[in-house]
Structure 1
Amino acid sequence: MSALPQKFYPVVDSALWVDRLGAAGARFIQLRVKDLPEAELRAQVRQARDYAARHGVCLVLNDFWQLALEEGVSYIHLGQEDLDTADMSAIRKGGLRVGISTHCHEELERALSFNPDYVALGPIWETRLKKMAFGPQGVEKLRDWKQRIGDMPLVAIGGITLQRAPLCLNAGADCVSAVSAFTQHADPEGQVRAWQAATGG
């Protein structure tokens, strides 16, 4: 099982963030775009793909696996609801790497049946950015997940701050993911450097 490109993982809502954070040193970025018309969505994906190539970023596209195949994005992230409709054989045949969200043991078992390239657990702490059906999982659950998945990379997400990131890594997470810590900060580029220091890269 291959290691992830970096120990922190910004999630962003536009291609411009891939350019900004990639230029600052982020090397593993998820583009999560919602509620855009097809043409605008495709334009965002293409632009993000080109920025990622420019900066040496491993770009992950949330949800839209068909678009990833069509536009040459090599990594996707799927939620549990996406697994209901995703054509996993087409995804694997197309060479896409896959990360999958999990929140409970049943979801973890389902995710593992697809042999993903990483699994994500969240929310570790309470988050206001996304309405969640599950409450905070806590750091201890990361230890449980890591014991269950072994060498497979584990991503922690949800309510993670610069100060909390090392707690997750010490508990067994291979990578910590955050949204507002980057996109809502007054100095996003400075945050990239701070997270590099806090996570050892």
Structure 2
Amino acid sequence: MPYPDRFYPVVDTIAWVKRLTQLGVGTVQLRAKDLDDAAATTLFREALTLTNGTKTKLVVNDYWRVAIDLKAQHLHLGQEDLAEADVAAIRKAGITLGLSTHDEEELETALRAKPDYVALGPIFFTTLKSMRFAPQGIPKISVWKKRIGTLPLVAIGGIKFEQAAEIFAAGADSIAVVSDVTQHADPDARVHQWLGASAKAA
């Protein structure tokens, strides 16, 4: 399977990791902010234990030292975290690296780190986190995909299942989803929709 999978949910609790793993999701990012190293180690150790031996690849968000210590396989960093991270140490540990980008300058910074994928966002308006960047819109996906070539491009930010076909057609290799799963009235059914569409497109 490609990495990251075409459907790429981002969640903030162990309960969600467990639920998505049981549903057979291939790539899940666990994003929990403002933890000290001890709390982050406890959280991600539990998450990695949950996903170990399953088809789910767990992506550690931000805590790169913890990812190395726990021998995680996948890591995602924002630009601020990238600036403070030891990319050489991450690479030496054999961990894949995905990076967030929001404008041309951030894309250039990300590409210098030779990531395994680049995330572009927000595609649409999102209320989940305060963003200093305006929505990028679907056409930007095509522009950036032409620039980065074979490097996987992940679209993120306010995306719903109904927009997936258009976003994939624009050039996205993967769609990161938050609220369309975690705030949906029937999350399990929504996940099955995403997985079904991804399987057809694969």
Query: Structure 1's 53 and 96: CA in aligned 2 closer, same or farther, altered over 3 A?
Result: same
What amino acid is the match of 2:187? P
Q: Matches of 1:126 and 1:151 in 2, distance apart?
A: 27
Structure 1 residues 153-188: Cα deviation after superposition (integer angstroms, max 9, x where no partner): 000000100101111111000000111111122322
Secondary structure of the corresponding residue to residue 163 of structure 1: helix
Partner of 1:51: 50
Q: Is the 8 A contact 2:4 2:174 kept in 1?
A: no
What's the offset of the Cα at 1:5?
4.4
Q: Matches of 1:175 and 1:74 in 2, distance apart?
A: 18
Q: Matches of 2:119 and 2:25 in 1, distance apart?
A: 19
Q: Matches of 2:110 and 2:37 in 1, distance apart?
A: 28
Q: Is the 8 A contact 2:37 2:66 kept in 1?
A: no
Query: Structure 1's 112 and 37: CA in aligned 2 closer, same or farther, altered over 3 A?
Result: closer
Q: Is the 8 A contact 2:8 2:28 kept in 1?
A: yes
Partner of 1:192: 191
Q: Matches of 1:187 and 1:169 in 2, distance apart?
A: 24
Q: Is the 8 A contact 1:9 1:30 kept in 2?
A: yes
Q: Matches of 1:129 and 1:147 in 2, distance apart?
A: 29
What CA RMSD, in Å, does the superposition of the two structures yield over aligned residues?
Answer: 1.4
Q: Matches of 1:126 and 1:153 in 2, distance apart?
A: 23
Normalising by structure 1, we get a TM-score of 0.94
Q: Is the 8 A contact 2:51 2:58 kept in 1?
A: yes
Q: Is the 8 A contact 2:71 2:93 kept in 1?
A: no
What amino acid is the match of 1:96? I
Q: Is the 8 A contact 1:25 1:193 kept in 2?
A: no
Residues 27-38 of structure 1 mapped to structure 2, 5 A cutoff: 27-38=26-37
What's the offset of the Cα at 1:37?
4.4
Partner of 2:78: 79
Secondary structure of the corresponding residue to residue 155 of structure 1: strand
Greater relative contact order structure (CA < 8 Å, 6+ sep): 1
Secondary structure of the corresponding residue to residue 99 of structure 2: strand
For the pair 1:164 / 2:167, whether they are aligned, the reply is: no
Structure 2: runs of 5 or more not aligned = none
Partner of 1:17: 16
Q: Is the 8 A contact 1:102 1:121 kept in 2?
A: yes
Q: Matches of 1:105 and 1:164 in 2, distance apart?
A: 24
Equivalenced residues, count = 200
What's the offset of the Cα at 1:130?
0.7
The percent identity for this pair of structures is: 49
- Between 183-192 and 76-85, the greater mean CA deviation after superposition: 183-192
Secondary structure of the corresponding residue to residue 134 of structure 1: coil
Q: Matches of 1:95 and 1:15 in 2, distance apart?
A: 24
Residues 1-201 of structure 1 mapped to structure 2, 5 A cutoff: 3-199=2-198, 200=200
Structure 1 residues 72-126: Cα deviation after superposition (integer angstroms, max 9, x where no partner): 2111111111121101111111111100011111111111111100000000000
Structure 1 residues 136-165: Cα deviation after superposition (integer angstroms, max 9, x where no partner): 000000000100000000000001001011
Q: Is the 8 A contact 1:62 1:78 kept in 2?
A: yes
Normalising by structure 2, we get a TM-score of 0.94
Secondary structure of the corresponding residue to residue 164 of structure 1: helix
What amino acid is the match of 1:194? Q
Structure 1: runs of 5 or more not aligned = none
